[in-house]
Structure 1
Amino acid sequence: ADGAADVTDTTKAQGHHLHHVTVTSGSIKVGDRVDCQIDATLRNRTRLNHSATHLLHEALRRELGDHILQKGSLVDSQRLRFDFSHGEPVSAETLASITAMVNDQVRANAEVSTELMSMDDAIAAGAMALFGEKYGDEVRVLTMGADGFSVELCGGTHVSRTGDIGLFWITGEAGVASGVRRIEAVTGEAALTHVATMSQTMQSVCGALKATPETASGKVEALRAEVRDLEKESARLRQKLATSTGGDLTQDAVEVDGIKVLAAQIEGATASTLRDTLDQCKNKLGTGVILLAAVDEGKIALVAGVTSDTTDRVKAGDVIKHFAGELGGKGGGRPDMAQGGGSDVAALPAVLASVPQWVATQLG
């Protein structure tokens, strides 16, 4: 053959092993004779992750219980992924125990052995079979770890001794379906790189916090408490500002057919501040229609209010729907209070100036 191809996957169908390839040069046709070469680096890294998956499976069963069953897995040269039956998240403490248990087996450097036997003999020997998997009359039993830590049926490629794995490290745990959790992990050089990266990150965090790894958690909690206190103080000051601003704004209201109309933009306000200010304006005006706006990071927040004695003539929801639409947005709400937003900041002054005329049209 004058072509070359990379084998990307192998599957089994009707008793045959199928190799999936990507042609990288030339061409390949039926009947060609090919020379095969194993990518030793890729295979060795994949073996580490595959063997670690077996140790992880057994560690999960010992730590969480015999209800743990494999629901899926992915093993490649970079990482491993293991899905298993479990009804709740696995705590950080339990994950640490599982990691330690697997690494204990890695450090034991026990020989990994394989043996072909009948299915009945394998089950009698305590081998674990995967639910739903089809097995032939003769199966391959894989034993690894000190004192036969893990015994499973498996036909895949594995390390010679558990010490070859080098290091096992869990990088994540999450739910993927009802009653199914997923653990992702790395081994060997990838695990060392991951741990080194985490160490560097911790050093950077400790530097920013002026803390040590032992005191960093407490420092973070103290900062979070400080932020909560500042947020409470900020909310108190916003409320105070709303009270003051509301009283000042009402001086700008105009009268339309016996109803006071107020439309204004408030600098530095948030959606929450606008609602507080709206309440103050309604109380101060007594009778009226109000539209307040604020701009934050190029987005417009709008709130509208109509006093209860006026909602039979003008509704706050209609105010918001109309003017939010004029500003390229949308919104809605109750007859007495509504909120929305827009994006056309340049049009905001003209839109606010048009509010009295629109109210006059509604009243007419």
Structure 2
Amino acid sequence: MKYMTTAEIREKYLKFFEEKGCKRMPSSSLIPDDPSLLLTSAGMVQFKPYFLHVKELDPAYVGTTTVQKCVRTNDIDIIGTTGRHLSFFEMLGNFSFGKYFKKEMCAWALEFSTQVLELPAERLYFTVFEDDDETIEIWKNLGVPEDHISRLGEDDNFWRAGPTGPCGPCSEIYFDQGPEVGCGKPDCKPGCDCDRFLEYWNCVFTQFDGQEDGTLAPLKTKNIDTGMGLERIAAIMQGVTNNYDTDVLRGLVAVGERLSGKAYESGDAAADLSLRIVADHSRSVTFMIADGILPSNEGRGYVLRRLLRRAVMHGHKLGIEGPFLSNYIDKIVEEMGSVYPEIVENRELVERVVASEEERFGATLRQGQAFLDEALAKLEGDTLSGKEAFTLHDTYGFPVEVTEEICAERGIKVDTAEFEACMTEQRERARAATKGSAEAAWSTYGGVHAELLKELGASAFVGYDRAMASSGVAALIKDGKRVDELACGDEGEVVLGITPFYAEMGGEVGDTGVMEGADEGSDLHIEVLDTKAPEKGLVCHQVKVVRGSVHVGDTVRAVIDERRRARISRNHTATHILHAALRQVLGDHVKQAGSYVGPDRLRFDFTHFEGVTPEQIKQVEDVANDVVMQATAMNIYETSLDEAREAGVTALFGEKYGDTVRVVEAGDFSAELCGGCHVSNTAEIGFIKIVSESSVGANLRRIEAVTSFDALAYMNREEDELKRAAATLKVTPLEVADRCAANAATIKEFEAERKRARQAEAEGSMADYLKDMIDVGYPLVVARIDGLDTGALRNAWDIIRGHMDKPGACVLGTVNNDKPVIMAAGTDEAVAAGFNAGAVIKAIAGNIKGGGGGKPTMAQAGGKDASGMDAALAAAKEMLGA
């Protein structure tokens, strides 16, 4: 058995199955094209459509072969404690969708193991499902000795996707690592919990369709789904019993050794654990960000943040100062960039996101660690309260998992039940605080709306093409109850069978307009104040009856406010264009994370890890307006969800789409799934003006923009303000910036001269304060010097200290613009003699209604009551024995 690198094994595997007629396909993204999955954790994920025959493989191939990057974190707490568990791993796979089955698969697996990898046949062992006699005979016919074949039960050797659906028996191949790593029991064999027999290949024979009654019906097409962990087989080929000793991972462990100065496997178990965790997590972090995942507080972004923060925490435990993960990224790109080009292409993005998160969490870690250390120092017993864990989470942003991990190292438990109770209370408070009166009103009607949907079915929306529709009144609601009539002056809800009114959805506000009696001579006039869909598919018009009365069964003409709808449509199409422009300028990691589309403005939230610069804002505007000015025709059509995804149409993660979806395309520039209202040509937008960009959370940004007449009004207001400023400065509008810069420079120089004058005055008057110096075991000056800022106050101490015959201390007070500040400072010698600046400030700050603190050598406090300054200084003298 010869040594092989990870890269050699990877290529030999893919080449082997290519030569058998399988199509080599690239790894799919860690973001699966499957809303039921958070992350890609197996090689077969991208082939689900092929197994279900939604897609068909080119008939020139008998199957496919891949090396799939995977992230799996269900056992994150175990990672690093064993040599097998990893959060990131590579899965070698090959798949057949009816072209070959058990006989071919078993023969190829044995051939690759013994002839390509040159594993000794006598050290290979095989397990099969206990009832799978067919596979046992296949292995025997291939020359496998009977005593190297074991039968295992359903838990070990039968694969199921769920309670029902495709399933089938498995056959696994094990490598005997030798009795020296085993349990020593005479009956030790594959399936034993010890490390002697290492499973490295799993062949799944998907041949049944599990029924609800538990029976197994044969599938029309028998499939092969086989996977081999690359890290595991690399360990075998490199003669090691630990994944972290293989070439790639050991290289990453070496990065940690270099940064920390600690040697791996030198007897420090805690350091070894941290070196393994950072090596593993750094790969997950690099690949997740490269695939467009950004740290957040939910979903896959939360998984990323947890891995990243855990890596940072263990780096700090190793004594690594400051941001350090870029060193790991460099090594990962060097080792794996040729196989996964996305980590090369997105390297800058990965480094910038990681650096931003490291800096943010580094501060969190320092603050939270201090609080936790203090809490644990006071702890009586072996359990930290959930309230304190919640304070760490809520006040300091300290993840509860980090708290649990630190506590576990010290033999302390965390009351997680109490923590969850605190979290639940917080969520309820947040919901109560954010629930608006309109939402509250609508929410009381939930039961009525559910009944109406069940009784009437979905409303027929015709508003994409029509501004008016005649329809019968299907139901009326007043004060949360169904009624037969709404009289003049009443407010309530009208449900129509057919409506042109768009209900608030997907960030777009609901339509407004009017309803009138359809009969000639009718004086019915109803104002439609809003349109919502409290139950999906049921359109409810929030109305006020202005004239006449309306009854269930009446026919009305429903007419939307076309001018308002046109403004909304312009803004909605603009959000799509801005989304695409942001991705073009900032990167493909940008994803929509919420929006508001009204008639007067639009708001667009998106994922991004840093502020957007003014230059980038201008670039986004230019790109977006270029599309607008090209008068690009919109193409809006319905298709199947699978076809839309195949075409690369942008879908929002977390949204639930039906089998038929609506695609909104702005030429070749953008394509999104959307049910909202849009213009027919981008020229209708006029132009787009971004009016603000801000942060609304970690890695979450927001832009607000206006279009068309609102954009023109905004620019006119800015121009008016510029002209007013120009008139005040007595320059032309184009000279305002230069004149403001010149004035600012002049003011800055005046301030500097004023500061120098004050400093000279203070320095000249220091002799007066030194006359009052008192010896309390060390020289002490207590003085009031008004008109100084904090910096000047500290400078005064420097001057006083320089004029003292021997090291001493001071307590200085100042009132500047009615704001009192007290500072205490002392030399190390004065502190050794009993002076404590922090204690002094704490004792006297109450006199100025303030608070503050600091170290024994330097402390200060600001206050609200300048009248108490003299009393504070007198208290300092008394305290210090002056």
TM-score normalised by length of structure 2: 0.36
Deviations 1:108-134 (CA, angstroms, capped at 9, x unpaired): 444434333334554566644334433
Specify whether residues 258 and 136 from structure 1 end up closer, same or farther in structure 2 by C-alpha distance, changes over 3 A only. closer
User: Which of 119, 135, 141 is equivalent to 2:657?
Assistant: 135
- Paired residues of 1:316 and 1:335 also in contact (CA < 8 A): yes
Deviations 1:263-294 (CA, angstroms, capped at 9, x unpaired): 33223222222222233334435466633211
Q: Which amino acid aligns with 1:239?
A: Q
Asked whether 1:45 is paired with 2:567, we answer yes
Specify whether residues 240 and 29 from structure 1 end up closer, same or farther in structure 2 by C-alpha distance, changes over 3 A only. farther
Q: Mean Cα displacement is larger for which, 58-67 or 198-207?
A: 58-67
**Partner SS state of residue 623, structure 2:** helix
In structure 1, list runs of 5 or more residues that go unmatched: none
Specify whether residues 324 and 226 from structure 1 end up closer, same or farther in structure 2 by C-alpha distance, changes over 3 A only. same
Deviations 1:188-210 (CA, angstroms, capped at 9, x unpaired): 22111111111122223334445
Cα distance in 1 between the residues matched to 2:840 and 2:729? 49
User: Which of 655, 661, 675 is equivalent to 1:155?
Assistant: 675
User: Which of 626, 650, 657 is equivalent to 1:104?
Assistant: 626
**Partner SS state of residue 596, structure 2:** strand
- Paired residues of 1:243 and 1:280 also in contact (CA < 8 A): yes
- 2:860 matched to which residue of 1? 339
Asked whether 1:72 is paired with 2:594, we answer yes
Deviation at 1:315, TM superposition (A): 3.2
- 1:181 matched to which residue of 2? 701
Cα distance in 2 between the residues matched to 1:59 and 1:335? 55
Q: Which amino acid aligns with 2:837?
A: A
Q: Which amino acid aligns with 2:763?
A: T
- 1:190 matched to which residue of 2? 710
Deviation at 1:157, TM superposition (A): 1.4
- Paired residues of 2:776 and 2:880 also in contact (CA < 8 A): no
- Paired residues of 2:847 and 2:871 also in contact (CA < 8 A): no
- 2:721 matched to which residue of 1? 201
Q: Which amino acid aligns with 2:847?
A: E
Deviation at 1:224, TM superposition (A): 4.7
- Paired residues of 1:246 and 1:278 also in contact (CA < 8 A): no
User: Which of 791, 794, 809 is equivalent to 1:272?
Assistant: 791
Q: Which amino acid aligns with 1:74?
A: Y
- 1:284 matched to which residue of 2? 803
Specify whether residues 30 and 329 from structure 1 end up closer, same or farther in structure 2 by C-alpha distance, changes over 3 A only. farther
- 1:247 matched to which residue of 2? 767
- 2:869 matched to which residue of 1? 348
Deviation at 1:216, TM superposition (A): 3.9
Cα distance in 1 between the residues matched to 2:795 and 2:775? 24
Q: CA RMSD in A?
A: 3.8
Specify whether residues 181 and 283 from structure 1 end up closer, same or farther in structure 2 by C-alpha distance, changes over 3 A only. closer
Cα distance in 2 between the residues matched to 1:63 and 1:307? 54
Specify whether residues 257 and 156 from structure 1 end up closer, same or farther in structure 2 by C-alpha distance, changes over 3 A only. closer
Deviation at 1:17, TM superposition (A): 2.8
Q: Which amino acid aligns with 2:572?
A: H
Cα distance in 2 between the residues matched to 1:309 and 1:243? 24
- Paired residues of 1:168 and 1:187 also in contact (CA < 8 A): yes
Q: Which amino acid aligns with 1:116?
A: E
- Paired residues of 1:245 and 1:277 also in contact (CA < 8 A): no
Deviation at 1:169, TM superposition (A): 0.9
Cα distance in 2 between the residues matched to 1:303 and 1:185? 48
Deviation at 1:75, TM superposition (A): 0.8
- 2:815 matched to which residue of 1? 295
Choose between structure 1 and 2 for higher RCO, CA contacts under 8 A separated by at least 6 residues.
Answer: 1
- Paired residues of 1:113 and 1:142 also in contact (CA < 8 A): yes
Deviation at 1:333, TM superposition (A): 3.4
**Partner SS state of residue 560, structure 2:** coil
Cα distance in 2 between the residues matched to 1:348 and 1:359? 17
- Paired residues of 2:530 and 2:541 also in contact (CA < 8 A): yes
Deviations 1:241-273 (CA, angstroms, capped at 9, x unpaired): 3321211222244x5778765433223222222
**Partner SS state of residue 617, structure 2:** helix
Deviation at 1:306, TM superposition (A): 4.6
Deviation at 1:170, TM superposition (A): 1.1
- Paired residues of 1:286 and 1:307 also in contact (CA < 8 A): no
Q: Mean Cα displacement is larger for which, 42-51 or 148-157?
A: 148-157
Aligned residue pair count:
356
Deviation at 1:187, TM superposition (A): 1.0
Specify whether residues 24 and 329 from structure 1 end up closer, same or farther in structure 2 by C-alpha distance, changes over 3 A only. farther
Q: 1:232-243 residue pairs with structure 2 within 5 A?
A: 232-243=752-763
**Partner SS state of residue 134, structure 1:** coil
Q: Which amino acid aligns with 1:167?
A: F
TM-score normalised by length of structure 1: 0.79
Specify whether residues 307 and 246 from structure 1 end up closer, same or farther in structure 2 by C-alpha distance, changes over 3 A only. farther
Specify whether residues 210 and 325 from structure 1 end up closer, same or farther in structure 2 by C-alpha distance, changes over 3 A only. same
Deviations 1:156-176 (CA, angstroms, capped at 9, x unpaired): 112233332222111122344
Deviations 1:205-242 (CA, angstroms, capped at 9, x unpaired): 33444544544444444445545555554444443233
Identity, % of aligned pairs?
36
Cα distance in 2 between the residues matched to 1:66 and 1:289? 59
Asked whether 1:317 is paired with 2:804, we answer no
